[in-house]
Every structure is written in structure tokens, then in C-alpha cells.
A and B are shown apart, each in its own frame.
Chain A
Amino acid sequence: MRVLHLLINGDRVTVAAPEHWTLLEVLRYELGLTGSKQGCDKGDCGACTVLVDGKPVLACLTLAALCEERAVTTIEGLLPAHVKSGGSGPDPVQAAFDECGALQCGFCQPGMMLSARALLDRNACPTRTEIQDALAGNLCRCTGYTQIVEAVELAVAKHCGVAPRRPGSARPRGRSRPPPRRA
């Protein structure tokens, strides 16, 4: 057992967990933050994606002990953060996913939306290709990604005050899964 001092969604929390536990295990089983999903537990699917210091990481490959004193954002943190910063209701990414029908089973979506959030935080007006690349580490088995990409484009359009692009722009081909991300 190890006592961990974590900063989760803006709150300082102290938990005791086995040394080998991953961030995903601590979030899900110690803190009850079950919004982060486990699809494979080995870094292949992206369902467990959370933000650590604003960067998407795979919580199933990240030791909780390595996250001490770093800011962790989970899907549960998006709406409160949006409200706190003066917005109302869900984060614009969450609202756009809902509006575009991008949420089918929803299991991939917490990770997907956090990857999208991280992209928009570093690049407020990404291109379609940049969106696809940013989401390439998050597998979705339901949607075929079209409505997901459209949702991110809608969030971008609302933010930048322009009309969302329609499908049709070219994109690079090939399987290019980014290397596993660790904190």
C-alpha cells in the first residue's frame, strides 16, 4: 500500500492504494470515478484516456504513483470546469458529441472527448486531418468515426464562430496509431 496525494479534477485527494495500481484503477476503484473506461487494460483502445497536466494519457498504462502533484482531468471534471469558468451545462465538446449523435454505446467516448478537449486546448481551430490524427489513439467500434469528427468540428465551429465544414476534405491514408502515451 502506498499513500498517494493526487490532484483530481481540481481537488486535492489522498488515497491509499497498492503500489502497482494504475491511475485507472485508482480512479475507478478507489475514487469511484468510473467515467474513465477500461476496454483493454494494455494501452490498445484509448477508452481510459484522461488528461494529465492537460495532455492525454492512457490511464491503464500510467502508474498512479507517477501522477502525484500533477493535474488529472477525467470526464467527470469537464462539466464542473466549464461551469466554474463561467459556462453553463456541459463542456462544448460534450454538448457537440450529444448534438451530433456521436454517442452510440458511449463506451469509447469519455476517452474520445478528452482527446478532443486536449486538442482544442492546444489548437482551437484544427483541420479535419488534425482532428482525425488527435483521435487516432481512441478506438470506436460503433460509429465509424464520422459523427465523432463532425462533433469536434461543430465544437470548433461554435468556438470560432464559423459554420462547420461538410464532409469531403481529403485526408492522409494508412494506419498510423501513435505510440502508447505515458505520463
Chain B
Amino acid sequence: MAARDQHGIGAPWGDAAAGDPANRAFQVVGKPHRKIDGLAKATGRAQYADDLVLPGMLHAKTLRSPHAHAMIVAIDASKAKALPGVHAVITGADLPIKYGVIPWTQDEHALALDKVRFIGDEVAAVAAIDEDTANAALKLIRVEYEPLHAFLDPRESLARPEPKIHEESKTGNVSKHVDLAFGDVDAALASAEVVVEGDYVFHGTTHAAIEPHCAVAQFSAEGRLTVWSSTQITHYVHRALAKVLELPIQKIRVVQPALGGAFGGKSDPFSLEFCVAKLAMFTGRPVKMLYTREEVFYCHRGRHPMKLRYRTAASKDGKIDAVDAKILIDGGSYSSFGLVTTYYSGQLLTGPYHFPTYRFDSTRVFTNKPPCGPKRGHGSVQPRFAFEVQLDELAEKLALDPIELRRRNFQGDFTRTVNGQRITSNGFLACLDEVERASGWRARRAKLGRGRGLGVAGSMYISGTNYPVYPNKMPQAGIQLAVERSGRVTVFTGSNDIGQGSNSMVAYVVAEELGMDVADIRVVAADTDLVPVDLGAYSSRVTFMVGNATIDAARKLRTQIAGAVAKEWQIDAARVRMGNGKVFDLDSTERCITTAEAFQIAEARCDTLGATGSYNTPTLGGDYRGGTIGASPAYSFTAHVVEASVDVETGRITCHKVWIAHDCGRALNPMLVAGQMEGSAYMGIAEALLEDHGVNRFGLHAGPSLLDYRIPTSVDTPELRR
């Protein structure tokens, strides 16, 4: 249940029915406020992980495997250790405990223990007085390998169980298999009026955040470890460090400084976080490791390549009867979030269209390539691409307008999907209407001439899921508010601002709830010594879950303050309102004090002021194994129209314009929402037309640089209209 349904003296903007004039307008929410850290970033003052310099800090570098698949026979680091300026060299034997973000599939070592699984796999790490010395030391480490057969094609991994890439996997080189059916798909296919089927391929892509991964560690004389890391999930790094280093978790502090982009690519615990920690413990000095751009490409955790086969059965008027999917997922060399990816590849397709029956069979296999993981729209983008293309094929077969076909299959609002997911409000039709209108679809579509056209696609995505990565009953998001008698409120949040603006979002919410100026709110975030736990920036969960936790805390505080002021004024608490930096009596508004004065009254009457709040999801999802994966407390919906042309001689495709409509619920800050819409549309076009995260026939990355990996510049990006 959302916090606003549980607490307090009602919303500051009134609780009357929608449209009732008794409701006050929002004061902060819905307005294009600046970000609270905007000017810090604009002036170069914001500190990112690599901007940290600690006294006596050493620099660390990683030795990586030149083989796609090999046993490590021997490592000799004696020469490297003897190099002047080298303080420590560590190998797999120093960090032998496995980790992995999903508790059931922990198959990673910070440094390879006995075998390497892709070109770029981490083998050893060196800490030295500077980067040049550390690099020189890497060259002195002798590693003897015994190469094994390298799997580069997922079909081979499926067909050939030996040699196993992971000895502990039960079924050859299969990482995860999910097979779920809802309703009688075969009967629907057999009796359908039309069936379309097709094979689709989605190549791999990567995040390519402009900031490379970086971590700094310090181990104090008291035995406390601090790690500053460019992570988007402080909490899981915290847990993983405790496990691998065998340190009590309360002795570890993880801090996320300003983060230079993530998009899912900084969700896993990474080798460098363990290495800097261990090296700091070994040397007694702070240690920093900054990945080169090339190394970032090896770390990857990007979009899984998928081979997808879809069959869709429909009636003559275009109503879908059944969807049947078979998907082969190339996971790369480690599990990462792959268990979730495998479920998401099927579970997230069941909207915004109504599927009476549905079946998917998804298999993720290991290959000797950089490991895949979660990237923006985790696990859902590849099936969505395939299925939307199939819908177009269906429209063509039935001579139906593609937008009309999508409209006819709209699932409706306040409903349940075939796989048991609860859909609440659903603005998909409005999104379709808007892009149809804005693009001039009806008037222009047939008149664009040969080689140029308009295309449409729809989608939905989660706002977090109700299943935390490690099972526990505690809240998914926690918030603390500290009130200062000067009229300032400080928010303590575990959420990770990765550029999306979550720190600003919590400030807007507190400002709205307490009727304050955003400038009087400070946010302390993502520092495990200071803030309550939040599960981090993934699965598009932060605004929904952390926002609700913030409302929860702010309402408790408001109740306390309004209660104290009401007693002071000897009126009913319901008459006390907070807004515009003032606290006033609703019935006689000339009785009015500043927020700071109200805080002082409350502090005098109650105690030092503060509040906590939390959010946890209700029970959601289907009653079957995996039924909660992809079950979200809220879904967002979108429709896009793209105008593209193809050069019929060269085959070169140019995307000219994109019209975007998105139902994200209430836009807390429409300017930041627009930035997310444009940024994701840009990334999607780049994935479709330019980017390819491939390897050559030896398993070597095809081009691990920002020049070879073709991300669009300002002149390549089409016009984006929201």
C-alpha cells in the first residue's frame, strides 16, 4: 500500500475527489524545478569516485586473461612484487570466496581462482605508487594457461555440455531455463484464424556510461573498511564485500559519490571493489582503481543477445488469441542477474496488450564472452522488439493499420495479466493517440514515398518489483528526516542518484509535504554509515518506492508538527496547514508563522524532531514458481512513433524523428521525466541502428573503445519529441 493511503492528516493539497476545488494545487510537484545538485555538476564541483584523492593513496591495476576459456596452471608474481614501487600483488587465492548479485547463482570470483572464462576476465591485481608502476608490474606477472574449447555461439553452448564453463552448473552450459504456460496455447494456435510466426535476433549492446568504473578503499587502524565506489547499488556491494572479505558488515562503509551514468552497468558488485579493499587491507594504504575504457567494455553486464522465435495467433479482426515464444539467451561467462533476465524475457511481455493465452520457453546459456546483465529495460527490450515486429507482420497480413491493431488488443486498466500481474491505471491508449496525432500518422503515413515510413511500437515496464534480490521481510526503501530549528530538513536516503535525479526527487517530495522551499532541504544519500537501507537504483524502482517512503516519513513529521502547532493555538490539528514556507490556520489565515517557527514550537513541545518512513510492496504476482518476478506495484506504459528512411542502394537506415508518449503516472518533475524519455529513446535508436557489442572469432572484443562502439553524437541523434 502506498504510504499516502496509510498516514497522516491528509495530503497537503487536499484529499477531496479529483477535480474538486477544495483541493489545492501542488506547489512543488509537477513543476520543472532545477536539480538540487545541478550547479554543483555544472561548475565541476561534484565529486565522482575518480576525483577522490586520499593521502598516501596507491593506484591499482588488474591483469586480465588473454584467453576466452582456459585453466590457470600457475601464476608467478614474484618479479612483479620485487619491482620498486609495488606494494602488493593479489591473485584469486587471496579472495577465494564466491559472490554474485543473485544469492542462488553466485559464480564469480574477484580474481580468477583456477580458470578464466572470457578475454578480459580478472586474474591478478597490483597496487603501486602510481599507475605507470602498476602497469609495469602487470607485465612482470607470469601466468601459465591451459586453453580450453571456447564457446562463442549460444547454440553450441546449448548443444554441447562439455567442457563446462561453470563446473557447478547442473545441466551442461545452461545457466537458467524457464518454461511457463498460461492457458491452452496449443488449442488456441490450432483453432486460430491467422497465425504469424517468425525468428528474430537481438544483438548485444552495452551501457557505455561516460564515467568508467572506479573504486577507492581505505582500511583504518580500527579495522574499519571504507569503499567509495561508482556503484548504483550500494547495499549489494556492502553485502558482497562483507561476504568475500569475511568482515563483519557493520565494520564496512560503502559510499557512492556522484555517479557518471550507469544504466544498469554498475548494478553488480565488480572485481575492482574487492581488489581495492583487499589491497588496502594488505598495504595499510588507501588504494584506488580506475578502469580504462577498454576494461569497462570487458566488464560489460550489458544487454543479452537473444534469438527469439514467436508465434502469434489472432482472429480476423486482429484480436490476439495466443502468443508462443521460444528464446535462446546468450548470457556470456557469468550469471550476474541472468536468472532474472531469463524470467523477464517472458514475464514482462504480457502488457499493454491482452493475451488470452501465453507460453514462453527461455533458456540462458553461458558463453566465453563478457558477462551480460541488466541494461535499461532489463530483459524486456529484446522480446519487445521481436513481438512488436510480429504485430506489424500481423497487421500487414490482416490489412489493418498497425496502431489500430494495437488499440484493439489493449488490455484495459485495473486488470490482471494472463501471468497474474496486477495492472492498475493504464494510459497506453492515450499514449497511442498522442503519437498518432503528433506524427500526423493518418495523413502522412501513406504519402512518404518509397523508402521512407512511420513505425509504431508500444511497451510497458515495471516500477520495481515486489521481490527483493535476497529474500527478506524488511522494507525495500527507508528514509530518515532530521529537522533543524533553523527551518532546514535533512533527508537521509539509501537510494542511489545515478543522474536520474533521485536526490532531487526526495527533496521535491519533502518540500511538497511540508510546504517548504526546496532550497531548505538537504539530501544525504548512498552512504551506508549514514543512511537507512534502500535496495538501490535498478528495475526503475526509485521514484516509486523511495518516493513513497519519503511521503511516509514526511507525513509522520507533518502530523507531529501540525499537532504541536494546533496545541499551541488551541485549535483542531486538521486546521493547521503547511505551505509556501508558512504554517497557518485554515480557518483564519492571518494566523500564520514561518516553517522555522513551527519547527521550534514542535521541538519545544515534543522533542528533537525527526521521522522515519519506509516502503514495502504489497503481495503481488502469480501463485506459481517465478510468479513474483516481474510483479510490480505499478507499471508504466509508452508508445513511440518513428519516422525513418532507408537508402535503397546502400541499405543505410536513417531515423529522422521520434515521437514519444509515456504514461509514468504523475510526473514529479516533468523536465526530468522528459530527460529520461529522450535519453531512453536515444539509447534505443542507437541500439537498433548503430551499436553492437560483439566479439571476433577468438572471443576478443570487436572494438572496446568509444570510437569503435558507435554511440550517437549530437548530430547523429534524431529529433526527439515528447
**Residues from chain B with Cβ under 8 Å of A58 in the complex:** none
A168 at the interface (CB under 8 A from B): yes
Q: Do A175 and B716 touch (CB < 8 A)?
A: yes
Query: Please, which residues of chain A bring their CB within 8 A of the CB of B169?
Result: none
Q: Are A98 and B34 in contact (CB under 8 A)?
A: yes
B715 adjacent to A132 (CB under 8 Å): yes
Task: Indicate which residue in A133, A142, A148 contacts B715 across the interface (CB closer than 8 Å).
Answer: A133
- Contact residues in B for A138 (Cβ distance below 8 Å): 713-714
Cβ contact within 8 Å between B293 and A40: yes
* CB of A14, distance to nearest CB on chain B (Å): 20
Q: Contacts A141-B208, A175-B715, A177-B713 given; 20 further ones with Cβ under 8 A?
A: A39-B706, A41-B293, A75-B43, A76-B45, A99-B34, A100-B671, A105-B259, A105-B499, A107-B260, A132-B715, A138-B714, A139-B711, A140-B210, A144-B680, A145-B682, A146-B678, A146-B720, A147-B675, A175-B712, A176-B713
Indicate if A38 sits at the interface (CB-CB under 8 A).
yes
Q: Would you call A109 and B42 a contact (CB within 8 A)?
A: yes
Which stretch in A42-50, A62-70, A157-165 binds the other chain? A42-50
The complex places the Cα of A79 from the Cα of B682 at a distance, in Å, of: 31
A35-B671 Cα distance, complex, nearest whole Å: 25
The 7 closest A-B pairs by CB, nearest first: A35-B44, A105-B499, A107-B260, A144-B682, A106-B41, A75-B44, A144-B678
Judge if A22 is at the interface, Cβ distance under 8 Å: no
Q: A98-B34, A98-B35, A175-B716 are in contact. Are A45 and B210 (CB under 8 A)?
A: yes
Q: Write the chain A residue with the least CB distance to B261.
A: A105
A156 contacts partner chain B, Cβ-Cβ < 8 Å: no
Taking the complex as formed, is B719 at the interface, i.e. its CB lies under 8 A from any CB of chain A? Answer: yes
Contact with B along A97-140 (1 / 0, CB 8 A): 11111111111111001000000000000000001110111111
A37, A97, A101: which contacts B260 (Cβ < 8 A)? A37
Of all chain B residues, the one with the shortest Cβ separation from A149 is B714
Contact size class for B?
35 or more
The 8 A CB mask of B664-694 against A (1 = contact, 0 = none) is 0000010110110011111100000000000
List of A residues within 8 angstroms of B41 by Cβ: 103, 106, 109
Please give the residue numbers on chain B whose beta carbons come within 8 Å of chain A beta carbons, in ascending order: 32, 34-35, 37-39, 41-48, 50-51, 53, 132, 207-212, 258-263, 290, 292-293, 498-501, 654, 656, 669, 671-672, 674-675, 678-683, 705-707, 710-717, 719-721
CB pair B209–A141 under 8 Å, yes or no, is yes
Whole-angstrom CA separation of A128 from B536 in the bound complex = 38
What is the bound-complex CA distance between A33 and B207, given in angstroms? Answer: 27
In Å, the complex CA distance between A109 and B37 comes to 13
Query: Complex formed: what's the CA distance from A42 to B259 in Å?
Result: 21
Q: How far is the CA of A175 from the CA of B713 in the complex (A)?
A: 7
CA A172 to CA B719, docked complex, whole Å: 11
Q: Which residue of A lies closest to B707 (CB)?
A: A44
B674 CB contact (under 8 Å) in A101, A140, A174: A101
Q: In the complex, what distance in Å separates the CA atom of A104 from the CA atom of B672?
A: 8
Report the nearest A residue to B660, measured CB to CB. A144
In the bound complex, residues from chain B placing their C-beta under 8 Å from that of A34 are 44, 47-48, 50-51
Known contacts A44-B293, A104-B499, A145-B682; is-contact A97 B42 (Cβ 8 Å): yes
List residues of chain A with CB under 8 Å of any chain B CB.
18, 28-29, 32-42, 44-45, 47, 74-76, 78-79, 90, 94-95, 97-110, 113, 131-133, 135-149, 167-168, 171-177
Query: Could you show 23 A-B contacts with beta carbons less than 8 Å apart?
Result: A35-B44, A37-B210, A37-B211, A40-B212, A44-B707, A94-B43, A97-B42, A101-B32, A104-B675, A104-B679, A105-B259, A107-B209, A107-B211, A139-B706, A143-B675, A143-B679, A144-B678, A144-B682, A147-B671, A147-B678, A167-B719, A177-B707, A177-B713
> Are B720 and A106 interface neighbours, CB within 8 A?
no
Are the CB atoms of A105 and B38 closer together than 8 Å? no
Most buried by A among B37, B292, B717: B717
Q: Which residue of A lies closest to B719 (CB)?
A: A167
Known contacts A40-B293, A76-B43, A90-B42, A174 near B261 by CB under 8 Å: no
Measured between alpha carbons, how far is A73 from B672 in the docked complex, in Å? 30
| Pairwise interchain contact B48-A37, C-beta atoms closer than 8 A | yes
What are the residues of chain A within 8 A of B716 when measuring CB–CB? 174-175
Least Cβ–Cβ distance between A130 and chain B, in angstroms: 11
Q: A95: which B residues are within 8 A, CB to CB? A: 42
Chain A residue nearest to B43 in the complex (CB): A79
Given contacts A40-B293, A135-B714, contact A142 B679 (CB under 8 A): yes
Q: How distant is the Cα of A89 from the Cα of B536 in the complex, in angstroms?
A: 34
A19-B412 Cα distance, complex, nearest whole Å? 67
A105 touches B713 (CB 8 A): no
Assess whether A98 is in contact with B715, with CB atoms less than 8 Å apart: no
For A131, the chain B residues whose CB sits under 8 A away are 714
Q: Could you tell me if A106 and B719 are in contact, using CB atoms closer than 8 angstroms?
A: no
Do the beta carbons of B210 and A108 come within 8 Å of each other? yes
* Measured CA separation A51–B629 after assembly (Å): 50
Kindly list chain A residues whose C-beta atoms are within 8 Å of the C-beta of B706.
39-40, 44-45, 139
- Residues of chain B within 8 A of A36, CB atoms compared: 44
Task: Find out whether the CB atom of A107 lies under 8 angstroms from the CB atom of B210.
Answer: yes
Which residues in A have their C-beta under 8 angstroms from that of B210? 37, 39, 45, 47, 105, 107-108, 139-141
Residue of B nearest to A104 (CB): B499
Partner of B705, one of A44, A74, A79, A174: A44
Nearest Cβ on chain B to A138's Cβ, whole angstroms:
8
Q: Which residues of B contact A47 (CB under 8 A)?
A: 210
Complex contact B713–A137 (CB within 8 A):
yes
Q: Indicate whether A104 sits within 8 Å of B501 (C-beta atoms), given known contacts A37-B260, A44-B705, A99-B34.
A: yes
CA of A75 to CA of B500, assembled, Å: 22
